[in-house]
Structure 1
Amino acid sequence: MESSIQTIASNTLLIIFAVVALTGIVCSKISEIIKIPDVVLFLIAGIFIGPSLFNFIDISKYQVENQLILTFGSAFILYLGGKEISLKVLKDVKITVVLLSTVGVVVSAFIVAQIVGLTFEVSFMTSLLIGSIVASTDPATLVPIFNQVKIKDKVKQTVISESAFNDAIGAILTSAVLTIILSGEFSLTENIYQLVIMVGVGVGVGMATGILLLKLVNDQPYGIFKDFAPIISILSVIISYQIAIKFGGSGYMACFIVGIITGNKKNFRVWLSQKSYDADCYVVETLGTICRMTIFVILGTQVDLVILSKYLIPSLIVVLGLMFVARPISVLSCVLFDKKAKWNKNEILFMMWVRETGVIPAALCGIISAMKVPGYEMISSIVFMSILITLIVQGSTTKLVAKKLGLLDEEAKECKNISVKI
């Protein structure tokens, strides 16, 4: 029995998971020492252990499992991004966040599409697909950075909120463009209608699922499952995603909304016991770490160094255009309309600089590679370069830029110093 095809395949998958997890743990420890975002090391390590170099693992032989990891991983990370949103702080900068997450994503996508069109000989829809994938920023990278670097709360919440919202919008936009490419049909009215349905259904399902399941783990009076809060959190992601997809909505948006509701329990009159709250935090943070490790390491294993070197210079041009053209224009086109937020020059410059590409673009790229969408090799090269360069250059200089612009939270630093002295 242990030599059957199914058993051998199962054992191989277990080995792959063990290798990926061990690689992720080692990279996480190294990142703490050398002060580089861990996802960069995950990507590089993935290249080393993948078919391009040492060929320890090759996930391409397991397409169903690959798709499952990428889909659930990206959905769960969006859920975690939603949990980081503070509705109280968000209220003061909501116009900026909404504009950056919608108009900003579209502006970035179209500008990058134009740059790709000038750099590569591809169709406009393929260029727009690339722009849609890399247009969003990454809460999974920004949140850990802001936990280490104490930025003023207004800017911090805006950037984190934008990254969480625009991940969902970027995923939806990518899905819409991909549908057009695969079907070969384009109708502006029809696609706008589909986008509205995807967002509307996703929001509705996310709110209904999030509130209902939270009530079941509430301390009083309906919390019949209050001792199973971590399991309910995981189920809420799976259930909301599947229901939203079933009714034509965005599963990613639904998971993100569930995260917002979970992260703002008191606004929805939900309270967890301390025991349930602690257990939930430990479990979801651990699972989120596993998702990040797995997605980035697997993406690294799918990088073809021959293809990457082939598209190296054009991909670098696209990434520089994303950082220094698309992002500044998208930020300016959004913040200037929010007079209530009263953004100053330094705050705007900081938001222009902080725009790391990360988990959701990586997951979307992995899905497109697995589907063998036309031009997927070029798309993988551009996405990999955008993740690597933005994380190394922008992620590692966040504290320096914030200090130069006077945006470090001095009160937080003083509190930290006092607590250390005590």
Structure 2
Amino acid sequence: MENTVEAIATNNLLLIFAAIAITGIVLGRLSEIIKVPDVILYLIAGIIIGPAVLNLISIQAFPVENNLILTFGSAFILYEGGREINLKVLNKVKLSVGMLATVGVIISAGIVGLFAGKIFGLPIMTALLLGSVVASTDPAALIPVFKQVPIKDKIKQTVVSESAFNDAVGAILVSTLLGVVTSGHLSIGKSIEELVVATVVGVGVGIVMGYVFSVLISDKKWGVFHSYAPIMSILKVALAYEIAVLLHGSGYMAVFIAGLIAGNKKMFGLWVPEYDFHSEHNFRENIGSLCRMGIFVVLGTQVNLEALAKYWAPALIVVLVLMFIARPIVVLVSTSFDKNAKWTFKEKLFMMWVRETGVIPAALSGIIVSMKLPGYEIISSVVFMTILVTLIVQASTTKFVAKKLGVLEEDNNDKTKITA
């Protein structure tokens, strides 16, 4: 029985879980000691234990397990990010968020694509496809960093909301360009229709799921499941994601909106009994930690060091273009229209610096690699160089840069104390 295909697959899944959990716990503790964001250590560990170095775990051989970890992990972290958002604060910066998540993605894709085409000698559509893959920021990378670094609410919620909404825009842009590269036809109308449907359905499903589940675990007469609040949080994420995808919407947007509603349930007069609230909170913290470990260890195992070794120099130049040319232009353009937000120059500088790349670009890159499109090795190398550089350089320096620019939450508290 232990040698059947099912038994071997089960054993492999248990082995993967054990390896990720042990690696995550040890490195999580180490990150606390050396004051480095844990996601960076998880990513490096994944590279070491993966096929690139020690070959202890080859998760590419288990596509179902791989997709489960990346999809559910990203969805849950995005849900947690939504819970961190204050609707009153978000309302003040909604124009900036909207611009960053739409126009910003297109500007990033265009600038990076044009430079990549020149640097690698790629056809224009393939180069723009590359630019589109790395154009969206990643909530799975940003949210864990912001949990460790207390940034001003306005900035944190703008950047986290941007990363939630721009995933859908980035994915649709990639799917549009994939259609052009494979068939040679471009349909602007169809792309806009896809974006509208994905957004409306994702937001709609998220609102319904977020509100219904908040009612079911509340202290109101319909709150009959409040003692199962921790389990309901997992169920909420799974159902919001799957129902949105089933209706051709954005699953990631649905879970983010569900989290947004759950995190602001007091605005709707909904309260969770105190014991169940703490129980759910602790449960979500642990599941979130496990998802974070799984995502970044798995991403590390997928880094192709051979392709990186071949293309590292031009790929690094493309990443620098993204960080120091595309991102600053995106922030300046997107925030210039939002007078109500009253952005300071230092706040804009900080937003230019935080644009980590992670799960969604890696997943999109995986689709392109599986299709073996012309230039797929170059796209894969640039994507993983972007993940490595933005996580290792930007995530690890977030606190330092925030302190220098005076955008840490504690800075406000200090000022308040002084003026008081």
Code of the residue aligned with 1:186 in structure 2: it is L
Answer yes or no: is the 8 Å Cα contact 1:130–1:379 preserved in 2: yes
Instruction: State the aligned residue count.
Output: 418
Aligned to 1:299: 299
Q: Distance in 1 between matches of 2:412 and 2:344?
A: 21
Q: Say if 2:179 and 2:186, in contact at 8 Å, map to a contact too.
A: no
1:64 — aligned with what?
64
Could you tell which deviates more after superposition, 221-230 or 128-137? 128-137
Question: What is the alpha-carbon root mean square deviation over aligned residues?
Answer: 2.5
TM-score normalized by the length of structure 2: 0.91
Asked if the contact 2:168/2:195 (under 8 Å) is kept, the reply is no
Identify the residue that residue 27 of structure 1 maps to in structure 2: 27
Identical-residue share of aligned pairs (%):
59
Kept in 2, the 8 Å contact 1:150–1:412? The answer is: no
Q: In structure 1, what is the Cα distance between the partners aligned to 2:291 and 2:147?
A: 19
Q: Structure 2: how far apart are the matches of 1:249 and 1:150?
A: 33
What's the counterpart of residue 333 of structure 1?
A: 333
Greater Cα shift, 404-413 or 20-29 = 404-413
Distance change >3 Å, CA 86–CA 297, structure 1 → 2: same
Dislocated runs of 4+, deviation >6 Å? 415-418
SS in 2 for 1:311: helix
Unaligned runs of 5+ in 2: none
Equivalent AA in structure 2 for residue 345 of structure 1: F
- The answer on whether the counterparts of 1:152 and 1:408 sit within 8 Å (CA) in structure 2 is yes
Question: What is the rounded CA distance, in whole Å, between the counterparts of 1:65 and 1:173 in structure 2?
Answer: 27
Contact persistence 1:218–1:271 (CA under 8 A): yes
Structure 1 Cα separation of the partners of residues 18 and 184 of structure 2: 41
- Would the aligned equivalents of 1:70 and 1:367 in 2 still touch at CA under 8 Å? no
Output the CA distance in 1 between the equivalents of 2:367 and 2:36. 26
Q: Aligned-pair distance for 1:315?
A: 0.9
**1:136·1:361 contact (CA, 8 Å) conserved in 2?**
yes
CA distance in 2 between counterparts of 1:241 and 1:184 reads 32
- In structure 1, the residue matched to 2:396 is 396
Encode CA deviations 1:360-394: one digit per residue, 9 max, x unaligned. 33344445545655544333321221122122222
Aligned residue in 1 for 2:344: 344
TM-score, normalised via structure 1 length: 0.91
Aligned partner of 2:50 in structure 1 is: 50
C-alpha distance in 1 between matches for 2:220 and 2:178: 45
Deviations 1:50-79 (A, max 9, x none): 112211111122122222222222222221
Q: Tell me the equivalent position of 1:11.
A: 11
Compute the displacement of 1:178 (Å): 4.1
Structure 1: runs of 5 or more not aligned: none
Counterpart residue number, 2:127: 127
CA distance in 2, matches of 1:268, 1:301: 43
1:1-55 deviation line (CA, Å, top 9, x unaligned): 2232321221122112211221122222222222222222212111111112211
Distance 1:352 1:312 in 2: 24
**1:226 is aligned with what amino acid?**
H
In structure 2, relative to structure 1, the CA distance for the partners of 1:368 and 1:230 (3 Å cut) is farther
- Higher mean C-alpha displacement, 150-159 vs 340-349: 150-159
2:378 paired residue number:
378
Residues 164 and 252 of structure 1: is their aligned pair in 2 closer, same or farther, counting only changes over 3 Å?
closer
Determine the C-alpha separation between the residues in 1 that align with 2:233 and 2:99.
Answer: 29
Aligned equivalents of 2:260 and 2:177: distance in 1?
Answer: 27
Equivalent-residue separation in structure 2 for 1:149 and 1:187 (angstroms): 43
Find the counterpart in structure 2 of residue 110 from structure 1: 110
Structure 1 residue 172: Cα displacement = 4.1
Tell me, yes or no, if structure 1 residue 153 matches structure 2 residue 153. yes
Match of 1:221 in 2: 221
Q: Is the CA contact 2:2–2:8 (under 8 Å) kept in the aligned structure 1?
A: yes
Residue range with higher mean Cα deviation, 207-216 or 325-334: 207-216
8 Å contact kept, 2:85–2:263: yes
- Given that residues 36 and 392 in structure 1 are in contact (C-alpha distance below 8 angstroms), is that contact kept between their aligned partners in structure 2? no
Kindly state the Cα deviation for residue 413 of structure 1 after the two structures are TM-superposed: 5.3
Deviations 1:279-326 (A, max 9, x none): 222222222222221122112112221111011011101100000000
Aligned-partner SS, 1:356: coil
